Amino acid sequence: MKGDTIPNQHHVARLCDNKHIDGGFIQATAFMLRSGEESLSVNWLEFLNCSSRESEIDELRNTYSRKLKLGAKAKIAVLTVGEVREKALTESPDRRNLKVLHDPQYGTVNDPSHSGIYNLKHDDELIAELILETVQETYPARK
Amino acid sequence: MLGASTVYGDKFIDYHSPSRQLHSGVWDLKNIISQHFLLSVPMHIRSSPTSAVNQENRDVFISRWPEKKDPFTQTDLLANKEEQVQELILEIRTSPSICHGEILATRLVTLFYDAKEEDFANLGIVVASLRNFYNFSQSHTDLKCPTISLTPDNNIYASWRVDQKKVFSVLFLPNGDTRFVIFKPNDLHPERQIRISGTTTTDMLKAEVAPHGVWDWISE
């Protein structure tokens, strides 16, 4: 439900577009806010209720391909919610308390697992670098 | 690492050798983009083709180019900004004082395409951010080649990573400022990390970060 806190042991995925990839590696810019954005868009993997990580990623690929134009090099980064929050809390200068909240989107393309990482700011390069360090797995965004 | 993602950049380099640029003025990023997008997303082409595009493609291209109604439009402004991006990338590629100029230019062209692919109506790379990066690169001729990406707002973000433990990243802002991040080991507590961030003008960046030892590991 919208606004639900995603448990620390759960996982979220972030779509990282071409311009955030160099030499096949995701860069910190993938975890920065665009002007006007309130939160960093992610997807709650456990909410998808799939049987495996691969099927979760496949489900997301389907959603992304309907919503967005996916670059050939785009990747999906998987993060553990608790690790991201702990990293920001213990290693950012202002002990940032990030919130990871469910924010389902319904419209032309339904995205029921859509969620957001909140309490980021627009000059948060250091936190973006910290989040990058917590990336656990990466997958090609295209099938 | 940079060389791995240079597919479009290679085309760019191949099509426009320095001699051609000097004598015929063929170096035209819009033209290159046209060629690229004619092969992939032709409906989004905005710019006009030149002699480098064959007649068949040109016909397709022209028939899909929306008619221009106003004497000066947002499209003109965009074209002008793109020309500035083109000139700066060319400067980076040919400047003898810029380290790894060819690799950097190739990477920047790739990023330009990447941003355009995401949204053809945007600038690709923010010109003033690119100029800021260019000025920095001109001023420091001994730097290792950074990884480069674009922020969500298409500003230049350069990173140097050493041994997985040292990170120096710089966001080149359009107003001539930089925001930087330094991660480095704590010499007294090797299991711990020192993290520093700050903002300064680009011409002061080296002086600001040098005391943290950054220049020792990003210089050649």
Per-residue pLDDT in tens (0 to 9) along chain A, 143 residues: 899 999 999 999 999 999 999 999 999 999 999 999 999 999 999 999 999 999 999 999 999 999 988 889 999 999 999 999 999 999 999 999 999 999 999 988 999 999 999 999 988 999 999 999 999 999 999 98
Tell me, what amino acid is at B56? E
Please state the rounded mean pLDDT for residues B59-77.
47
Residue B138 lies in a domain: no
User: For the whole model, what pTM was predicted?
Assistant: 0.80
Is B135 within a domain? no
Residues B120 and B165 in one domain: no
A33, A40 Cβ separation under 8 angstroms = yes
B40 with B114, same domain: the answer is: yes
Same domain, B6 and B86: yes
Å between B100 CA and nearest CA of chain A: 16
B205 reaches A (C-beta below 8 A): no
Identify the DSSP state of A68. Answer: S
Whether residues B85 and B178 share a domain: the answer is no
Give residue B181's domain range. 143-220
- Kindly report the backbone phi and psi dihedral angles of residue B38, in degrees, each rounded to the nearest multiple of 5, phi listed first: -60, -30
Q: Do A37 and B179 touch (CB under 8 A)?
A: no
B131 belongs to a structural domain: no
CA B160 to chain centre: 16
B165 and B105 in a single domain? The answer is no
| Interface probe with A: pick from B104, B133, B157, most Cβ of A within 10 Å | B157
* Residue in A17, A19, A91 closest to B195 by CB: A91
Q: Looking at the structure, tell me whether residues B23 and B111 fall in a common domain.
A: yes
CA distance A69 to B34: 19
- Domain boundary, last residue among B125, B159, B176: B125
Phi, psi (degrees; rounded to nearest 5) at A114 = -60, 140
Given a contact cutoff of 8 angstroms between Cβ atoms, the answer to whether A41 and A14 are in contact is yes
**0.90 surpassed by complex ipTM:** yes
Note whether residue B147 is domain-resident. Answer: yes
Domain membership flag for residue B133: no
In a domain, B132, yes or no: no
Identify whether residues B86 and B147 lie together within a single domain. no
pLDDT of res. B87 = 92
Whether residue B7 sits in one domain with residue B58 = yes
Domain count for chain B:
2
Q: Residue B193 in contact with residue B184, Cβ under 8 Å?
A: yes
Q: Do A34 and B153 touch (CB under 8 A)?
A: yes
Pair (B86, B112) in one structural domain = yes
Asked whether residue B114 falls in the same domain as residue B155, the answer is: no
Question: What residue segments make up the domains of chain A, in order of their start?
Answer: 11-140
Residues B8 and B114 in one domain: yes
A36: nearest CA in chain B? B153
